[in-house]
Amino acid sequence: MAAVQEVVTEAPAIDAVPKRAMTLSAGTTLIMLALLLLVPLFVKNFIIFQLTMLLVYGLAVLALNILTGGSGQFSLGQSAFYAVGAYTSAILIENAGMNYALTLPVAGFVCFLFGFLFGLPALRLSGVYLALATFALATAMPQILKLGYFEAWTGGVQGLVVTKPDTPDIVQTVLAWFHLKMSQDMWFYYFALAVTIAIYILSVNLLRSRSGRAFMAIRDNEIAASAMGVDVALYKTLAFGVSAAITGIAGGLGAIAVQFVAPDGYTITLAISLFLGMVVGGVGWLPGSIVGSAFIIFVPNIAEGISKGLSGAVFGVILFIVIFLVPHGARQVAMVAQHLLGRLKKR
């Protein structure tokens, strides 16, 4: 057994990402931010909704990125955390009449506990074994949500319809001075954007902090890390907890944006999509999360546009091409672009 695990851990699937390369330069960040702030003003509500989903899935991919890119642990069970977050928010809004914004920290906290507790047994597993254990969690979750015991809260197989939040009166009043109006979709987009930016900043800081260095030390070499005095068990479970908490908040946001939760929305397909988003965005590169999220939202639509009957196959081909040409995903593209820009500047 030990020998097998040795083989698995010996060749880490994730290349070590230097800390500096985990974020974008200040200029690029500002451009991205400006785009995210301004684009919704010029597009239809439907596109705003898609952009909101882009942020939501972006957050979920970011969470997985912290876990895999940061601490080197695999998870195919993110859909389970996402579902728990979504249901927590939905139940609190619909059954307890709580304000939607307040449900998000609760969803985050519940998922943190859930992730932390799941992280405890998961500690004994590594590599593909851990991936399998989390996979089991993802397959079990939709059925657990259907269970009769919880039906009074979860709505069972029928799911729960969530009321969409109105633009707050105060915002409406201020906008009214300028004879402007803000749709529910636009308001919720900016709300989600604020949450996303806050979490992004926190995540970057987390990875730059002592804990972040501990995560990365564990990722690069567990034995060396523990020799340096890193509490491997604690930080591995902590990484699971943090990742689950962020995924849970993303789930809560997603539930409000979609206005509906049902077990069928949180199947293993979602977990695999998030995993895919992480790989396409570049493992360990946080800004790539949004690229990965765009990939999992828009590429299936493009594939469907090319061929309805073979949309799955077309998607597969596109994915294959991407992985074949740029195995490190968006990070690699960004690095090449940066390199080219640098050469241009020199001339």
List residues binding another protein (CB under 8 A).
41-42, 44-47, 49-50, 53, 139, 143, 146, 156-159, 161, 178-181, 254, 258-265, 267, 269-270, 300, 304, 308-309, 311-312
249 alpha-carbon distance from chain centroid: 9
Phi-psi region of 72 (alpha: psi -120 to 50; beta: other; left: phi over 0): left
Of 311 and 332, nearer to another protein (C-beta) is 311
DSSP reduced 3-state for 160: strand
Of 221 and 267, nearer to another protein (C-beta) is 267
Pairing of strands 260-261, 160-161: antiparallel
Of 195 and 217, nearer to another protein (C-beta) is 195
Of 231 and 264, nearer to another protein (C-beta) is 264
Of 23 and 184, nearer to another protein (C-beta) is 184
Query: Which residues is 261 bridged to in the sheet?
Result: 160
Q: How far is the CB of 51 from another protein (least distance, A)?
A: 11
Q: How far is the CB of 201 from another protein (least distance, A)?
A: 27
Q: How far is the CB of 266 from another protein (least distance, A)?
A: 9
DSSP string, 227-250: HTT--HHHHHHHHHHHHHHHHHHH
Of 291, 293, 317, give the one whose Cα is nearest residue 306: 317
Of 245 and 270, nearer to another protein (C-beta) is 270
Other C-beta atoms within 10 Å of 228: how many? Answer: 11
Of 42 and 149, nearer to another protein (C-beta) is 42
Other C-beta atoms within 10 Å of 81: how many? Answer: 37
Q: How far is the CB of 147 from another protein (least distance, A)?
A: 10
CA distance 186 to 42: 11
CA distance 91 to 215: 34
Q: What are phi and psi of 49, to 5 degrees?
A: -60, -45
Of 44 and 210, nearer to another protein (C-beta) is 44
Q: How far is the CB of 273 from another protein (least distance, A)?
A: 10
DSSP reduced 3-state for 203: helix
Q: How far is the CB of 337 from another protein (least distance, A)?
A: 30
Long-range contacts at 210-217 (CB < 8 A, ≥ 24 apart): 211/235, 211/238, 212/19, 212/70, 213/19, 215/66, 215/70, 215/71, 215/72, 215/239, 216/16, 216/19, 216/70, 216/71
Q: How far is the CB of 76 from another protein (least distance, A)?
A: 16
Q: How far is the CB of 280 from another protein (least distance, A)?
A: 18
